[in-house]
Amino acid sequence: MNIIDRNNVTVRGQGSQPILFSHGYGCDQTIWRLVTPAFEQDYEVILFDHVGAGKSDTSKYNRSKYSTLQGYADDVIEIGERLEITDGIFVGHSVSSIIGILAAIKKPRLFSKLILVGPSPCYFNENDYIGGFTYEAISDMLRLVESNYETWAKSMAPLIMGNPDHPELAEELIENFCSTKPEIAKHLAHVTFLSDNRSDMPQLQVPSLILQCSKDVIAPETVGRYLHKVLKESELHIMQATGHCPHLSAPHETIEAIHHYLKQA
């Protein structure tokens, strides 16, 4: 299996410490383009596309393997092993931050630090847990995904992105959503929004930084605080940035926050 081909892995930068950037739902590695140049001087920047996204090998998409986030986490582990990464840094956005946590639980030596941008282990409200969505909302949303993916993408992107004063950001997200193969995008929407990985969270032994945006409708502040409570050795950083994609809407603040965290002993 050619992992590099499958996940369109690219490596750049002059440093020796590997830092792996993992994109979120409906995007690909180009979504990190405003952030990664700031790390190329001191790190070995590794980027990839999840199977089904960007320039990945979509022929490797397998519905049963990717029926849970663990399938994607296994891919991250395979990339790490193929590139002989140990004690690397993982930066994941949204669903990818959970994928990174699952990978780090299974292979604790792979990463020494995780940076979780807008993470959420569960999107629905349940008892005391406020995930942000009711069952019905999730159910309705997935019905819309199924029946009219494009409409869903167009209505969802501005909600995810926030920052209504910069409509071009949401436009980019819509474009990204719509460039993913619809069958794969629909399936991934199910897997993402129905995942409940809350019981996995306490198993993480690797230190992490939670980058929590303000006014994030996908991963509200309650979720960030919840994760900070259940993840051992986690730090919670509430960002000025709004929306769910600070790496696009507030790259400088995102870079600063990551740099600051990594420079700590």
Partner 1 sequence: MSAKLANYLQKDEFERIRELQYAVDQFALIGLIQPHGALAHANEKFLRVSGFAHEEICKQPFHNLLCDESRKLFVEHVMPILSRGITWKGELCHVARNHMHFWTEATIVPILNADHSLRHYHFIAFEVTERKAVEQSLTNNSIFFTKLMELAPIGFFLADIDGRCTYINKIWSETSGCRLRQALGVGWLQAVFRDDRPMVEEAWNQFIQNDRAFNCEYRYQHGSDRIVWVVATAERVDFALNTRTRFIRVEKDLTERRENEQLINEQRAQIVAASKMSALGEMAGGIAHEINNPLAILQLRARQIIQLVRPDMPSIERLIQAAENIRQTTDRIAAIVRSLRAIAREGHGDPFLRTPIRALVDDTLELCAARFKSHDIMLRITPFSPHLEVSCRSVELLQLLLNLLNNAFYAVEHLQERWVEVGVHDRGDDVEIWITDSGAGIPPELQDKIFQPFYTTKPIGNGTGLGLSISRAVALDHHGDLWLDRECPHTRFVLKIPKHPVESA
Stretch that binds partner 1, among 102-110, 135-143, 204-212, 238-246 (CB under 8 A): 135-143
Sheet strands side by side (includes 10-12) = 10-12, 43-48, 17-22, 88-93, 111-117, 208-214, 234-242
Question: Considering 94, 120, 195, 234, which one is annotated as catalytic?
Answer: 94
Query: What whole-number distance in Å separates Cα of residue 112 and Cα of residue 100?
Result: 12
Least separation in angstroms between residue 83's CB and partner 1 is 5
Nearer to partner 1, 55 or 228 (CB): 55
Full 3-state SS string of 63-102: CCHHHCHHHHHHHHHHHHHHCCCCCEEEEEECHHHHHHHH
Scanning 10-18, 106-114, 207-215, 249-257 for contacts with partner 1 by CB under 8 A, the matching segment is: 10-18
Smallest distance, Å, CB 197 to partner 1? 10
Q: Distances from the Cα of 101 to the Cαs of 2, 15, 123, 211, 233, in angstroms? A: 24, 24, 16, 14, 13
Indicate which single residue of 1, 127, 128, 263 sits in contact with partner 1 (rule: CB under 8 A): 1
Q: Which among 35-43, 103-111, 189-197, 215-223 is the span making contact with partner 1, rule CB under 8 A?
A: 189-197
Site string for partner 1, 169-188 (x = CB under 8 A): ------------------x-
Q: Of 93, 216, 234, 249, which one is the catalytic site residue?
A: 216
Cβ at position 55, least distance to partner 1 in Å: 7
Q: What 3-state DSSP class applies to 39? A: helix
